[in-house]
C-alpha cells in the first residue's frame, strides 16, 4: 500500500488530469472547420484516454482508503468563451506537458518497494505521453 505522501501526490495528479485543459475543452463545444472534424474527434478520443487514467488513479486511491479530491476547473478556463481548436492547441499541449512532468517527478519519488504504484504511474505516464505526442503531431492549419 502506498504511503500517505505518495497518495497525496497521486491525488494531485488526479486533479491535474481530471481538471486539465483537455478535459475542459472536451466538455465544451470545440469549434472546428468542417474539414477538421477528425481533429475534434481526436481531441475527444484523447480526453477519453485521460478520463480512463483518472479513473484508474481514483480506483487505486479508493482501495487505499484515501479521501479523493477531484478538484475544480481553474477559473481562467471559464473566461474562454469560444474554443476554436487551432487557438486552443498550444494551451492543450502546454497543459499536457505539465501533466507528464508531474508524473515523471512522481516516478522519481516512488520508493523501489512500491512496485504496484510504480507500475500504475508508469502506465499512466505512458498514456499521457502518447496524448502529448498526438497533440504535438496535430497540424495547426487547415
Look up the CATH number of the domain holding residue 100: 1.20.1260.10
Residue 142 located in a structural domain = no
Residue 141 located in a structural domain = no
Residue 89 located in a structural domain = yes
Q: What is the pLDDT along the chain (142 residues), one digit of tens a residue?
A: 678 899 999 999 999 999 999 999 888 877 666 676 787 788 899 999 999 999 999 999 999 999 999 999 888 887 776 677 777 889 999 999 999 999 999 999 999 899 999 999 999 999 999 999 999 998 765 4
**What is the DSSP code string of 68-82?**
P------HHHHT---
Structural domain range at position 108:
4-136
Region for residue 68 given its phi and psi (left: phi exceeds 0; alpha: psi -120 to 50; beta: otherwise): beta
H/E segment holding residue 23: helix 21-27
Residue 31 DSSP label = B
Residue 12 located in a structural domain = yes
Q: What is the pTM for the complete model shown?
A: 0.88
The residues, ordered by sequence, that sit 6+ positions from 99 with a Cβ below 8 Å of its Cβ are 13, 16, 17, 20, 128
Q: Compute φ and ψ for 3, nearest 5 degrees.
A: -70, 160
Amino acid at each position: 500500500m502506498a504511503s500517505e505522501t505518495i497518495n497525496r501526490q497521486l491525488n494531485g495528479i488526479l486533479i491535474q488530469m481530471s481538471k486539465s485543459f483537455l478535459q475542459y475543452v472536451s466538455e465544451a463545444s470545440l469549434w472546428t472547420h468542417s474539414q477538421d472534424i477528425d481533429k475534434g474527434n481526436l481531441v475527444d478520443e484523447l480526453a477519453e484516454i485521460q478520463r480512463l487514467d483518472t479513473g484508474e488513479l481514483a480506483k487505486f486511491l479508493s482501495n487505499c482508503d484515501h479521501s479523493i479530491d477531484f478538484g475544480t476547473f481553474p477559473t481562467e478556463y471559464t473566461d474562454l468563451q469560444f474554443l476554436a481548436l487551432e487557438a486552443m492547441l498550444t494551451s492543450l499541449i502546454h497543459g499536457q506537458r505539465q501533466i507528464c512532468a508531474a508524473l515523471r517527478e512522481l516516478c522519481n519519488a516512488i520508493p523501489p518497494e512500491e512496485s504496484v504504484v510504480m507500475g500504475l504511474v508508469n502506465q499512466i505516464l505512458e498514456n499521457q505521453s502518447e496524448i502529448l505526442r498526438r497533440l504535438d503531431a496535430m497540424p495547426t492549419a487547415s
